[in-house]
Amino acid sequence: MDRLLVTGGSPLSGTVRIQGAKNSALKLMAASLLADGRTVIENVPRIVDCLTMVEVLEHLGASVAWEDGRMIVDTGGVDGHETPYELVRRMRASIVVLGPLLAREGRARVAMPGGCNIGSRKIDLHLRGLEHMGASFEHDHGYLEVTAGDLRGAVISLDYPSVGATENLMMAAVGARGTTVIENAAREPEIQDLAGFLVRMGARIEGAGTPTVEIQGVDRFEPVRHVVIPDRVEAGTWAVAVCATGGDVLLAGARTDHMDLPLSKLAETGAEVTVEGEGIRVRMPERALAVDLVTLPYPGFPTDLQPQMMALLASARGTSIVTENVFEARFMFVDELNRMGADIRTEGHHAVIRGVDRLSSAPVRALDLRAGAAMVIAALTADGVTEVSDMYHVHRGYEGFEEKLASLGARVSAGPARSPAVLG
Ligand code: EPZ
């Protein structure tokens, strides 16, 4: 278990380089399975989840070289089709190898992902869509045995614009016979990045980033070189931390076109947000004003920034109402915030946050990746020294988290033990 000690009261200032997007890089790595040869993916963030996806690819027989953000995936040796529970348990996003494996091998054996700290995380939409394309499933002691002799195109209407389901179905459909139309598809920038990657490989995709994606199946794919888009959630996390501490920071490499709502929400709290060179400058001249917030699929406000915003609003001027529409259990961390003197009441999907003058330090835990970042943001505003434990959750998705904090002037000191993978 690793801990972070944070002394509150220092405004963040300076420049922070935004990493490649975790939620794109993981899918691009899976998509590389479609082509035989060496695919080069640049700007892959050095985070634990990407290390786990390397293990998933190597378990399938691929070989992966990775240095300075450049990853080379050689799929020449891919001969497997199984993703074991040990890996899926660590990272449920491993399930996105299902689509490419079916397109490449016509079969897959993937451990069913369990739930996680923010919700049940079902995959019924993934499976129903693949079934429409001719796949059949057998449950076998916690594993899914999937066979799809040759996938055929289908019209698939998603009950909910699921990011993972859209990605898995796209990666299966590109190799299916005929045309696939995904209706009510997710529209996130990471979906568009994946579609761009697949088209470069030889796929034929129209409409990525809109609710209707049309895919013509093709027979073969070429390995490619691709640069991962910047991580809008990491950038948003730092932007919220700047607002919480009354700081002034340049988010180098961040893209405003991926962050419209988060940036306009922060401006509503009183932040000054300007495009500066290749980045976004966020400055907070005074204590935040309370705002209401509703999380929705993209382009709505991202659920992945909800916990961070709650940490900011906990000591804003006034009362805020936050509605979480994406994950049913994403308020679990509120109890940790209330341990620091926040005044937050939750009722189902709604949280009422009465801003307090200042949070107070207390030992707290990171419950998941984004809640962990939220606890650190809260600690940056609190009086005294806060200890945040279970920081391994944060290391799953934030590259050099403590180093970036310190470089922006935060007073932090890492605890005695840290997840070895981070130091890898
Ligand atoms: C992706 O998860 C992201 N993860 C999540 O980021 C993000 O919060 C989420 O999209 C929403 O934007 C990765 O990309 C690796 P969904 P995913 O399928 O694909 C329900 C982070 O912190 N659902 O859009 O799992 C599901 O239960 C992580 O980086 C079904 O009911 O999200 C949830 O309530 C957290 N059936 C909602 O849809 C399904 O078959 C959204 O899930 C699939 C999903």
Residue 423 has pLDDT above 50, yes or no: no
Look at the chain and report how many structural domains it folds into.
2
CA 189 from chain center: how many Å? 11
pLDDT at 422 over 50: no
SS3 call for 73:
strand
326 lines ligand 1 (CB under 6 A): yes
3-state secondary structure of 168: helix
The answer to whether 290 touches 351, Cβ cutoff 8 Å, is no
- CA triple 359-363-366, angle to 5 deg: 95
Domain boundary among 218, 243, 264: 218
Enumerate residues 6+ apart whose C-beta is below 8 A from 172. Answer: 98, 99, 100, 102, 103, 130, 133, 135, 148, 151
**Which of 218, 250, 265 corresponds to the end of one domain?**
218
Q: Tens of pLDDT along 296-334? A: 999 999 999 999 999 999 999 999 999 999 998 899 999
416 confidence band (pLDDT: 50, 70, 90):
low
Would you say 349 and 323 are in contact if contact means Cβ atoms under 8 Å apart? yes
**β-bridge partners, 273:** 282
Name the least confident of 136-150, 240-254, 263-277.
136-150
**Does residue 354's CB lie within 6 angstroms of at least one atom of ligand 1?**
no
In the sheet with 225-227, reading across from the earlier edge strand, the strands are: 63-67, 70-74, 38-42, 225-227
Ligand 1 pocket, mutate which of 27, 163, 187, 394 (most atoms under 8 A from CB): 163
Same domain? For 209 and 76 the reply is yes
For residue 356, what is the domain's CATH number? Answer: 3.65.10.10
Q: Is residue 224 part of a domain?
A: no
Co-location of 265 and 182 in the same domain: no
Show the tokens assigned to 297. 């699929």
The strand pairing partners of 215, in sequence order, are: 180, 205
pTM: 0.96
Residue that wins the pLDDT comparison between 257 and 117: 257
* Beta pairing partners, 250: 15, 281
pLDDT above 50 for 263: yes
The model's pLDDT over 19-68, given as tens digits with 9 standing for 90+, comes to 999 999 999 999 999 999 999 999 999 999 999 999 999 999 999 999 88
* Strand partners for 326: none
As a dihedral over the C-alpha atoms of residue 259, residue 183, residue 226, residue 39, rounded to 10 degrees, the angle is: 150
Longest dimension (CA), the chain: 62
Q: What is the pLDDT of residues 197-255, one digit of tens each?
A: 999 999 999 999 999 999 999 999 999 999 999 999 999 999 999 999 999 999 999 99
pLDDT (0 to 100) of residue 383: 96
Domain-terminating residue out of 165, 194, 218: 218
Q: Is residue 135 part of a domain?
A: yes
> Is 424 a domain residue?
no
pLDDT tens by residue, 99-120: 999 999 899 999 988 767 787 7
Q: What atom in ligand 1 is closest to the CA of residue 298?
A: 12
Q: Is pLDDT of 415 > 80?
A: no
Does residue 95 line the site of ligand 1, with CB under 6 A?
Answer: no
Task: Give the lowest-confidence range in 18-32, 163-177, 266-280, 402-416.
Answer: 402-416
pLDDT, mean over the chain:
95
Length of the chain: 424
- Residue 68 has a pLDDT of 84
Residues 149 and 179 in one domain: yes
**CB-CB contact of 130 with 124 (8 Å):** no
Find the mean pLDDT for residues 363-386. Answer: 97
Determine the Cα angle at 41 with ends 37 and 47, to 5°. Answer: 125
What pLDDT is attached to residue 418?
47
Are residues 174 and 85 part of one domain?
yes
Helix (H) or strand (E) holding 239: helix 232-245
Distance CA 288, CA 247 (A): 12
My answer on whether 275 and 202 are in the same domain is no
Q: Rounded to the nearest whole angstrom, what is the distance from the C-alpha of residue 162 to the centroid of ligand 1? A: 6
Query: At residue 358, does pLDDT exceed 50?
Result: yes
Mark whether 156 and 139 lie in a shared domain: yes
Tokens of 287: 């204590």
User: What CA–CA distance (Å, rounded) separates 148 from 111?
Assistant: 17
Q: Which amino acid is at 183?
A: E
Print the domain residue range for 111: 22-218
pLDDT at 417: 57
CA of 357 to the centre of ligand 1 (A): 34
Distance 117 CA to ligand 1 centre (A): 12
E strand map for 34-160: 38-42, 63-67, 70-74, 82-83, 107-111, 136-140, 143-147, 155-157
Determine the atom of ligand 1 nearest the C-alpha atom of 190.
Answer: 14
Which of 326, 396, 399 has the most ligand 1 atoms within 8 A of CB, as the residue to mutate?
326
Does residue 223 lie within any of the structural domains?
no
* 120 CA closest ligand 1 atom index: 27
CA distance 223 to 243: 42
Q: Is 164 in the pocket of ligand 1 (CB under 6 A)?
A: yes
18 and 281 Cβ atoms separated by less than 8 Å: no
Please identify every residue annotated as catalytic: 116
Confirm whether 160 is domain-assigned. Answer: yes
Top mutation candidate among 19, 22, 23 for ligand 1, by most atoms within 8 Å of CB:
23
- Look at residue 420 and tell me if it is in a domain: no
Do residues 282 and 345 touch, judged by C-beta distance below 8 A?
Answer: no
Pocket flag, ligand 1, residue 191 (CB < 6 Å): no
Is the confidence at residue 182, as pLDDT, over 60?
A: yes
Q: Is 62 in the pocket of ligand 1 (CB under 6 A)?
A: no
Q: Is the CB of 165 under 6 A from ligand 1?
A: yes
Do 208 and 249 share a structural domain? no
Q: Assess whether 130 and 68 both reside in one domain.
A: yes
7 and 38 share a domain? no
| CA distances to 5, 245, 288 from 377, in Å | 12, 8, 14
CA 281 to each of CA 213, 238, 371: distance values in angstroms, whole numbers, following the listed order: 34, 11, 24
